[in-house]
Amino acid sequence: MNSQVISTGTAQRLRALYSLTKPRVVSLIVFTAVIGMFLATPGVVPLHVLLAGTAGIAFVAGAAAAMNCLVEHKIDAKMRRTSWRPLPQGELSAAQTLAFAGALGGVGLWLLYHYVNALTMWLTLATFVGYAIVYTVILKPATPQNIVIGGASGAMPPVLGWAAVTGEVTIEPLLLFLIIFAWTPPHFWSLALYRTDDYARAGVPMLPVTHGKPYTRLQVLLYTVILFAVSLLPYMVRMSGLFYAAAALVLGAVFLGYAVRIYAAYSDAVAQKTFRYSIAYLALLFAALLVDHYL
């Protein structure tokens, strides 16, 4: 009986630790990083770089997510979207979360330094600091432009992947960075539009809270137009071919359609569909880059 109770308690704690890493968010981060690795070479990514680079980036991203949960646990408790997380529910303590994030991030950086290269390790560390400290601690509670400025950290994964293979950062990965950077505002603001009450209750100055929904709807549309243009840059600089260009046009047109509906005929249901589509959009756009690369 005692061993069964211990086993159950251990399993629950492991599940709680796993949820701290925001696995769905990290999976998209890792996906774009891996695409960056493959785009960096005309051949095959060395296996040790692929495995150590993927694991290292995933571990550090998970550690940053855990730190975000730690810093924002009081905010999370006030929001229906996040009140289920382990810290608000009392499943984990602050000390346990800090130790877990430190260990996970430390292992990730060690993997990158010893099995990939120093540049990738330092860039990944900078990304961790940008998200866990600059965005979470400084920007998010201070300005409605938190998503725009803090989006730089979220846009880094393909740059990390590229650097892991080549040991340098060139114009190509910076274009991939720019795509995610432009994608971030319409992605998060579509979420904030139908979660405005949650953010207001928690005291987070998201754009629809500080400037109202009509202004935010306009910003979603404008940033989606910017994203549409930016998404065509890889083709314009001959980094990709017609397959990617066609995919970018189709995927971008659908995104624009959602953004127009948000602006002209808003409903929470439309905002929710836009948010969900934005995730699929980014995954499919980067998948199209990969397919085009090997055609």
Per domain, the residue ranges of the chain are: 10-168, 170-295
Phi, psi of 75 (to 5 degrees): -65, -45
The model carries a pTM of 0.91
Token couple for 264: 């002209």
Nearest to 183 by CA among 251, 123, 121: 251
Tell me: domain 10-168, CATH 2.40.50.180, correct?
A: no
Nearest to 189 by CA among 158, 218, 161, 166: 218
**So what's the pLDDT on residue 16?**
86
Choose the CATH number for 170-295 among 3.30.1490, 3.30.230, 1.20.120, 1.10.3210.
Answer: 1.20.120
Nearest to 15 by CA among 71, 75, 70, 91: 91
The answer to whether 230 touches 108, Cβ cutoff 8 Å, is: no
- Rounded to whole angstroms, how far apart are CA atoms 231 and 227? 6
List the chain pLDDT tens, one digit each, 295 residues.
455 545 666 788 888 888 889 899 899 999 999 999 999 999 889 999 999 999 999 999 999 999 998 888 888 788 887 778 888 888 888 898 899 999 999 999 999 999 999 999 999 999 999 888 888 888 778 788 888 877 888 899 999 999 999 999 999 999 999 999 999 999 999 999 999 888 888 888 889 999 999 999 999 999 999 999 999 999 999 999 999 999 999 999 999 999 999 999 999 999 999 999 999 999 999 999 999 999 8
**So what's the pLDDT on residue 264?**
95
**So what's the pLDDT on residue 73?**
84
Nearest to 25 by CA among 154, 140, 146, 123: 154
DSSP secondary structure, the chain, as one string? -HHHHHHHHHHHHHHHHHHHT-HHHHHHHHHHHHHHHHHT-SS---HHHHHHHHHHHHHHHHHHHHHHHHHTHHHHHH-TTTTTSTTTTTSS-HHHHHHHHHHHHHHHHHHHHHHT-HHHHHHHHHHHHIIIIIIIIIITTT-TTHHHHHHHHHT-HHHHHHHHHHSS--HHHHHHHHHHHHHHHHHHHHHHHHTHHHHHHHT---HHHHT-HHHHHHHHHHHHHHHHHHTTHHHHTTSS-HHHHHHHHHHHHHHHHHHHHHHHS--HHHHHHHHHHHHHHHHHHHHHHHHHHH-
- Rounded to whole angstroms, how far apart are CA atoms 223 and 68? 25
Q: What value, to the nearest 5°, has the Cα angle with vertex 290 and ends 251 and 238?
A: 80
**So what's the pLDDT on residue 3?**
52
- Rounded to whole angstroms, how far apart are CA atoms 201 and 241? 47
**So what's the pLDDT on residue 8?**
66
